[in-house]
Amino acid sequence: MKNVVVLGSTGSIGESTLRVAQALPDQFRLVGLAVHSHTERLLEQVRAFGVEHVAVTDREAAERCAAQLPAGVTLHAGPEGLVALATLAQADIVLCAVVGLAGLPPVLAALEQGTDVALATKEVLVGAGQRVMETCARTGARILPVDSEHSGVFQCLAGRGDDAAALRRIILTASGGPFRDRPDIDFATVSPAEALAHPTWQMGPKVTIDSATLMNKGLELIEAHWLFAVPFDRLEVLVHPQSIVHALVEFEDGNSVAHMSQPDMRFAIQYALTWPERCDGGLPGLDLHALGALTFEAPDRRRFPCLDLACAAGAAGGTAPAVLNGVNEVAVARFLAGEIPFTMIWKLVESALAHHKRVDDPDLDAIMAADQWARSFAHEEI
């Protein structure tokens, strides 16, 4: 039985995590749930799972829900509530699925005291990969990836020991998003609704837009660089519209191993939580006969410039990835609000990276400052 803390329990990944926990009641006990402000849903989750600790980062929302919590439940209010939950003595693993760099302090706090982290929040490794991996190396705590591609790589490498050193390249697949097979479309006129119509994955709006621009894959390359200690010239992207093969690793002898599953985040979540064991959580296998064909193509880097922008920021290192991420987050939000065209997302990212004065080997303050600078830059440019 593992005691699990879920940061971001009402988001898409959080809800999927609760479904995994529900399917395996003998494996997991939920001991803490954190949300930003969705307290109505939080209260339902608390009652359903008998959780003892909750955190609500929005203080007004925390005040509103305080009186409605069942007796015996401890409420941690404000952003520091995430750290309080991440460092609960009884937690065996912390699943972090909060939005943005807000996930960084609790992830570092958990790792610092040796608690493993199942990580879904991309910004943590994108913004502070070096710091996070150094902390893991020092304390022995692990990052278990909660993303289909990185879970795929992790599973391809699992138990291979020295094989990992003989790695030639890692390939992450991308669905290609809703605009892959529409070369005629004018990106300047794309609406948020069109960009949100993802062909294979059901996800939150931010990551769905990132999938439409391929920024999501760019952020995932930066994560893979840190997670698997692989330089950018050995990381590749392959467009695979069926989203069945999530990752491939190729070894020095030319042999490749691929990871496949249905496109459902519960596969990655369950593996991160049960690792190093596997168990039957009721998730279905593949029917390749019914699928018939799996297809692959190279990404169109001219139509989707976010891929190269992310690789360049990742290779530059220092505070560049934090700037890439911060400006992209603002741009996506303003696009979803109908305030800027789709094309302005990558124009803003490119401009911010060109104007940013990079800090190498940044500490946490420098990373946060770069993120703030990027956000202000984006708003001012718009």
Q: What residue ranges bind Mg ion (CB under 5 A)?
A: 147-149
Instruction: Select 128 or 153, whichever has its Cβ closest to Mg ion.
Output: 153
Find out whether 239 and 173 touch, Cβ atoms under 8 Å: yes
Report in angstroms how near the CB of residue 217 gets to Mg ion at its nearest.
8
Report in angstroms how near the CB of residue 266 gets to Mg ion at its nearest.
14
- HSE at residue 255, side-chain half, CA atoms within 13 A, is 7
Report in angstroms how near the CB of residue 225 gets to Mg ion at its nearest.
15
Q: Tell me 308's DSSP state.
A: H
User: Measured between alpha carbons, how far is 66 from 76 in angstroms, rounded to an integer?
Assistant: 10
Report in angstroms how near the CB of residue 148 gets to Mg ion at its nearest.
5
Instruction: Select 149 or 250, whichever has its Cβ closest to Mg ion.
Output: 149
Report in angstroms how near the CB of residue 125 gets to Mg ion at its nearest.
13
User: Measured between alpha carbons, how far is 354 from 346 in angstroms, rounded to an integer?
Assistant: 12
Instruction: Select 43 or 283, whichever has its Cβ closest to Mg ion.
Output: 283
Nearest residue to Mg ion, by Cβ distance, number only: 147
Amino acid symbol at 87? T
Instruction: Select 5 or 172, whichever has its Cβ closest to Mg ion.
Output: 172
Instruction: Select 94 or 237, whichever has its Cβ closest to Mg ion.
Output: 237
Instruction: Select 200 or 351, whichever has its Cβ closest to Mg ion.
Output: 200
Report in angstroms how near the CB of residue 296 gets to Mg ion at its nearest.
17
Task: Write the DSSP assignment of 129-144 as a string of letters.
Answer: HHHHHHHHHHH---EE
Instruction: Select 52 or 149, whichever has its Cβ closest to Mg ion.
Output: 149
Report in angstroms how near the CB of residue 120 gets to Mg ion at its nearest.
9
Report in angstroms how near the CB of residue 10 gets to Mg ion at its nearest.
20
Instruction: Select 106 or 177, whichever has its Cβ closest to Mg ion.
Output: 177
Report in angstroms how near the CB of residue 211 gets to Mg ion at its nearest.
8
Q: What angle do CA 192, 369, 125 make, to 5 degrees?
A: 65
User: Measured between alpha carbons, how far is 70 from 77 in angstroms, rounded to an integer?
Assistant: 16
Instruction: Select 122 or 375, whichever has its Cβ closest to Mg ion.
Output: 122
